Structure 1
Amino acid sequence: MANRKPRAGALLTLEEVYRKPVGPASDPKSLYALLLRFVAWRRERNWSETTLKTQTHHDYRFILWAAERGLNYGAEITRPILERYQRHLYQYRKANGEPLSTRTQRTALQPLQVWFRWMAQQNLILANPAADLELPRLEKRLPRTILSVDEVETVLGLCDLNTPMGIRDRALLELLWSTGIRRGEVAKLEIHSPDFSRRILTIVQGKGKQDRVIPVGLRALRWLRRWLYQVRPEVLVNPECKALFLAMDGVEGLTTSGIT
């Protein structure tokens, strides 16, 4: 098998994982088959696709690493094997020669803990080899860069207010600055999400599939109102689209990557 190392770039999609079987994939006891079974089990319990994508990516990378060493079954994975994989992550170097950060190493190992615990609970393996796996300790650091108020105002002022896109972007940035919500939550906002009279924003199925209501500052509300009632109707092409922030084709809402 070719030497394939964990990729530092974008996460693999679930579709990519399905298209790239590893080892004796047809054997129901193989690691690859157990991973697909685990994904199906979590989907049945309404776990978010984002969580599934992240965890499946890291579990799949471990399967590749194990397969390169002739390990294809859950019963073959022991605590020393997992510790060996942990050392592999510690020693791994990216294309630019830098090591993986402690946080990245933890992010790669935590899904394995969840997956092997599930295997043990389902009696698919005799014992959980990841039960006492000690993860790297996170360093406690302050953010490297904190924008001053003047710097934030400079960023907000970059939007071209002579264009519909500029007004949309200004409203979006003002909302992010006022509330601190996530990009994925912005992408799910609809035209009825802001309540201007109560000065609140309703987030439906945010992180952890939790609904929440958060306050919004007056300035952000003014920009939202301008976008929603003055500019959005001019951009809208598809009347069925209820997304608060439209892509500039007017057909659908902004995606998370579009917001980025």
Structure 2
Amino acid sequence: MQWQSYLKNFKSYLTLERSLSENSVEAYLHDAEKLVQYLSLSGQDKLPPGSITDAHLLDFLYYLGELGIASTSQARMLSGLKAFFRFLLLEQVIPTDPASLIESPKLGRKLPDTLSFPEVEALLAAIDLSTPEGTRNRAILEILYGCGLRVSELIALKVSELYFDIGFIRVFGKGGKTRLIPVGRDAIKYTQIYLDEIRRHQNIQKGSEDIVFLNRRGKYLTRIMVFIIIKDLAAKIGLQKNISPHTFRHSFATHLIEGGADLRAVQEMLGHESITTTEIYTHLDRDYLKTVITEYHPRGR
């Protein structure tokens, strides 16, 4: 593949000519690879580097924003792309640098705050597991962060759609579409504890028999209740960020991408539509998605 040879040469340039550390080389290469993955996803990977314009790069950054990638991560990725296209210009592969005029402040709409992994751990550690609500809340946050669910998908999650024996949950997303999402070890552990030790002993109201997360009256949670749970935890640890359930979804995507997961896998797990104009999309193998979670998600390692 044409782009792969340029990536290989870019790596050699960073290592031999710029004498960068191994970590720096991998970071720059990682950013360039993400652009190539995007071009492949959007059916544009046959374009030669000289045909790439600033519009292509802005579309790529907009796509990252749609996935929920933090604006700070987008800015860092743009820095890597600038280095890649400067190299291509230096090698006379391209006549002009399409990245030269793109500035970080123009990365698109502002995204909600994204949590760092230590912040996620601090929120989880602040939950009082000695109470029924605390046990439930730990499971809720593990599922939100471990699976990247929308809050609407979380509150509608069904016991009959938990396939913990094979490490997946089935989620009903936007437009009635369903998807299978790998679920990590910690999310399974705390959700199973909640199901066995708390939910099993509740007086469950009619209509909520198959709903996973219930309030103390045995009915499904509302979106507002999930917001309150998260806001209260943030206040408890003194977190100076405006966070919501969606923050965990952004963090899920950002941490996977930064960890090295490919865009296509993250897109599928988030339940986003295909970005190709023809909407032809081959779903990824379930075992591969499980591998992505295991290798690239902080709670999956």
Normalising by structure 2, we get a TM-score of: 0.38
Higher helix proportion: 2
- Quick check: which has more Rg, 1 or 2? 1
